[in-house]
Structure 1
Amino acid sequence: MGKTLVEKIIAEHAGKEVSAGEIVIANVTVALVQDGTGPLAIKQLQKLNLEKVAHPERTVLFLDHSAPASRKELANDHMALRAFAAKTGAQLSDVGNGICHTVINEDYVNPGDLLIGADSHTCTGGALCAFSTGMGSTDVAIGMALGKTWLRVPETYKVNVTGKFPVGVYPKDLILHLIGMIGADGATYKSLEFGGPAIDNMAMEGRFTLANMAVEAGAKAGLIASDKITKAYLKKMGRVNKWREIKPDFDAEYERIIDIDVSTLKPIISYPHTVDNMRDIDQSVKDHIKVNQAFLGTCTNSRLSDWAIFSTIIKGKKLAPGVRLIAVPGSKKIEAELLKYGYLQAVMAFGGLILPPGCGPCVGVHGGILGDGENVIATQNRNFQGRMGNPAGNIYLASPATVAASAIAGYIADPREYTRVLRPLGTVPDPSKLPKKEVAKKAVRKRAPKTIRRRVVKKAAKARAFRPAKKVKAAKKRASRKR
């Protein structure tokens, strides 16, 4: 019997053949903690007199959830993580460097790796065809110290995605649709294996969005086969030598197969207070939901393409009266790209507030907590009650395009109203959106019509005819010398 992606990867790290349902001990490639879970992990290691890490170069501590620290207790947690990194040699990703799930995939994760993290959205790494999963702080602490962990090999649901994305519909809409379809507990402790023509043609950034939200259906992991798109991403990140092709066997055994035709999808909104409380945009527009705050960011949708889509829609527009916009780049690398392409400037000109790379208001500890009864439309992955710091606030989840349209309108709005400026997924960028240097290389200049050329020639002739007398005399002298 053939093997699924998750069975193949775990088998490598367990050193033997494995099957779904089997409990194994496996070697850990990469481990991470963040400033909310890291202090707990450190305390557990101190209790066990085991304050060390097996692989310092592949153990990363992130200060991202409350960064910069918003109160003294959190500042002390940051101090503890910095001290642990200095003592053990573990890698430290300090304030402003970015979100753990973004940076870890930019710098550390490769196809076939086994990544554990003390954060539920560690599953983002499955987009690179790594078995990447969230665990409790104690489990990750032991994995950091010993370089091994135990786990049960999950069964796999195959998600077969076909068709072409309509304009205004994005991977975020696809994953919200899937979660609404199977439920928030519909894939508990399963591995979601995304495949099919629509996935084969999907850019890496869209794949990260899908893998990131696999846990919102209860999944242990969300994986995508390693292919030429994975290779191109690793090349961009400077480690193409780490790429290898990993695919499931043609006769792999799946517990369930889910078919989705994306060409039938509309923009999707997730209503409070569960991710699977899903509506399509037609219903949301009818509901006429007022927006108090819009949020672009998080490990789900804070990458270059997300900002590009958002900036394309808001170009030449103004933020609706009474609406606050908070935008947060996913990492320092992404922030530099956004600055280069002018997307940071576009959001600022629109009236948005830019926060340093990190989690921003997603977890509700700083930088955008909601007031009582306020509504936020956000690109994040969770809308649980109290998620953004106030149980009396309401969180609506959507794609960057829908958030942009809603920020302009002041209520939840349909991004398909902007089909003139939006493009289907996978098309080349508009030269007008590229930096000036890139435009010079890529933009194709068209020759002006004959009538326009004639006008230009006539104007040039007139300009020569009316040159000052001194210049005419000087020109005649130069001509006579040449003779």
Structure 2
Amino acid sequence: MERSYRKEAQVEMVKAGYKVEEAVSFSNIKDGDESGLRASDQLTVAEEILSRASGKGQVNRGEYVVAQIDAMMMHDIFAADVLSMLKNAGIRRLSDPSKVTVVFDHMVPSPSVSSSSHQAKARELIRYYGIDAFFEVGKGICHQVMIEENRVAPGQLVIGTDSHTTTYGALGVASSGIGSTEMAYALATGKLWFKVPESIGIALNGEFQLGVTAKDLILKLMKVVGSSEAQYRSVEFGGPSVGKLDLADRMTVANMGVEMGAKFTIFPEGPIKTLKQDANYFASHVVSLDQLVPQIAVPHHVENVVDVSEVVGIPLDQVFIGSCTNGRLGDLRLAAEVLRGKHIAKGVRLIVTPASANVMAEAAREGIIEDLVNAGAYVGGPGCGPCFGGHMGLLAPGERCLGTHNRNFRGRMGSGDAEIYLGSPLTAAASALAGAIAD
């Protein structure tokens, strides 16, 4: 049955209070295409979730749908702009404030008057729109907080104004980062358009060797799969060893799925079952965890991945352990095990930022913070830290950093003439001791 989802989206936008000329442009959306129907009635997880959220019996890959959103997240960089957009359009209420979460995590503590003013405006609008799930400076990084505070659940469709919103796929969630205009539309209507993605199945076998982590797994996948295959596709994990990855491991992998270009990165959780035998996958891969060795992404792209052993000895100026990728308790434990009773090399700065206040408190109780400080680390408060190049550890021209975060693009952490390497907490801690990349 033909149906114009472009028209439906525009109608919903107008109902929410936008004038026609202010409505989001959907000129690139095509009408629903039923030509993708398959003989198999087994849907991929992405298709299953979008079928439910769109109210259709079955969606088909390549089809455009308008879907009901289960949860929405914004952080301090975009919250004021998005909510101002709504207020300026005359929209006085959100479709469902209970579905909205705001976390201040990027520019925290505020490093400038302009940042403070921006955050003050956001706080004013958060109160105006009755958003109760607001987490202030010091609570932690948005993606960690969303999971700790049970703001997402298996089978949901979730969006956020951060590209690493794919993190929630660790809980069987179809989650994706979006832009500020799309978020304004979703806040006003409770809905958003999606193109149903094709899916890639990845089966995990075996067990990690000593010294190999989930970060090494996702870095290897960056090299083997990469954006050439995963662009705007749902990457769905399964296999006999998928249960050997704990929640923190799954969050690390799902978090960096977007670096492969993935729309969703989904693990099985609760009622959500991945890698269905009869589902139609665009491609499938089998990964033997016991064959993995420590990996590292070299400048200036996340897909430039090699074995750590190939770059051992490259001098470093800074090491960063933290971020929404690897700032969890298990990550800090690994780093502390390497650093305990030792001291980082002269001439190297070690910056550590826990992913949340809960992580920091538990790390303090276990003596991890003391171990890190005694080893010469600067331990900052919960937040994004230097990952995105905002503040708290920016790089000077010619400097070189190894971090556990998710991006190493030129200029990501400061100067465009600096170099960024990405590795696991174990690789980072060992490298801080050596003053150079170490295996």
Specify the alignment match of 1:428 in structure 2. Answer: none
CA distance in structure 2 between the aligned counterparts of 1:184 and 1:411, rounded to whole angstroms: 29
Specify the alignment match of 1:253 in structure 2. Answer: 280
In the TM superposition, 1:141-152 aligns within 5 A as 141-152=184-195
CA distance in structure 1 between the aligned counterparts of 2:216 and 2:93, rounded to whole angstroms: 42
8 Å contact from structure 1 (residues 127, 223) kept in 2: yes
Specify the alignment match of 2:17 in structure 1. Answer: none
Specify the alignment match of 1:404 in structure 2. Answer: 429
Counterpart check, 1:368 vs 2:408: no
What amino acid is the match of 2:73? L
Counterpart check, 1:276 vs 2:303: yes
- Selected match of 2:378 from 345, 353, 372: 353
Task: Specify the SS of the correspondent of 2:199.
Answer: strand
CA distance in structure 1 between the aligned counterparts of 2:48 and 2:85, rounded to whole angstroms: 32
Task: Specify the SS of the correspondent of 1:300.
Answer: helix
User: What displacement does 1:186 show?
Assistant: 3.1
Please list the CA deviations of residues 193-222 of structure 1 after superposition, one character each: whole Å capped at 9, or x if unmatched. Answer: 011123221111000001000000011010
Q: More helix by proportion, 1 or 2?
A: 1
CA distance in structure 2 between the aligned counterparts of 1:297 and 1:270, rounded to whole angstroms: 16
CA distance in structure 1 between the aligned counterparts of 2:66 and 2:88, rounded to whole angstroms: 23
User: What displacement does 1:40 show?
Assistant: 2.5
Task: Specify the SS of the correspondent of 1:259.
Answer: strand
In the TM superposition, 1:302-381 aligns within 5 A as 302-381=327-406
- Selected match of 2:115 from 62, 65, 74: 74
User: What displacement does 1:139 show?
Assistant: 0.5
User: What displacement does 1:367 show?
Assistant: 0.3
Counterpart check, 1:299 vs 2:324: yes
CA distance in structure 1 between the aligned counterparts of 2:320 and 2:109, rounded to whole angstroms: 18
Specify the alignment match of 1:12 in structure 2. Answer: 52
CA distance in structure 2 between the aligned counterparts of 1:135 and 1:185, rounded to whole angstroms: 21
User: What displacement does 1:272 show?
Assistant: 0.8
Specify the alignment match of 2:253 in structure 1. Answer: 210
Please list the CA deviations of residues 225-247 of structure 1 after superposition, one character each: whole Å capped at 9, or x if unmatched. Answer: 114xxxxxxxxxxxxxxxx4544
Specify the alignment match of 1:443 in structure 2. Answer: none
What amino acid is the match of 2:105? D
8 Å contact from structure 2 (residues 45, 272) kept in 1: no
User: What displacement does 1:37 show?
Assistant: 2.0
Specify the alignment match of 2:138 in structure 1. Answer: 96
8 Å contact from structure 1 (residues 112, 246) kept in 2: no
8 Å contact from structure 1 (residues 30, 115) kept in 2: yes
CA distance in structure 1 between the aligned counterparts of 2:112 and 2:229, rounded to whole angstroms: 38
In the TM superposition, 1:30-45 aligns within 5 A as 30-45=71-86
Please list the CA deviations of residues 344-397 of structure 1 after superposition, one character each: whole Å capped at 9, or x if unmatched. Answer: 111111111111111000111110001111111100000011101211111100
CA distance in structure 2 between the aligned counterparts of 1:105 and 1:113, rounded to whole angstroms: 13
Question: When the two structures are superposed, what TM-score results if normalisation uses the length of structure 2?
Answer: 0.88
In the TM superposition, 1:427-466 aligns within 5 A as none
User: What displacement does 1:150 show?
Assistant: 1.0
Question: How has the CA–CA distance of structure 1 residues 219 and 399 changed in structure 2, closer, same or farther, with 3 Å as cutoff?
Answer: same
8 Å contact from structure 1 (residues 330, 357) kept in 2: yes
- Selected match of 1:224 from 258, 267, 290: 267
Task: Specify the SS of the correspondent of 1:64.
Answer: coil
Q: Gaps spanning 5+ residues in structure 2: where?
A: 1-39
Task: Specify the SS of the correspondent of 1:213.
Answer: helix
8 Å contact from structure 1 (residues 21, 153) kept in 2: yes
Q: Gaps spanning 5+ residues in structure 1: where?
A: 228-243, 415-483
The CA RMSD measured in Å over matched residues stands at 1.2
Q: Which entry has the higher C-alpha Rg, 1 or 2?
A: 1
What is the aligned-residue identity percentage?
39
Task: Specify the SS of the correspondent of 2:234.
Answer: strand
CA distance in structure 2 between the aligned counterparts of 1:335 and 1:21, rounded to whole angstroms: 43
8 Å contact from structure 1 (residues 61, 81) kept in 2: no
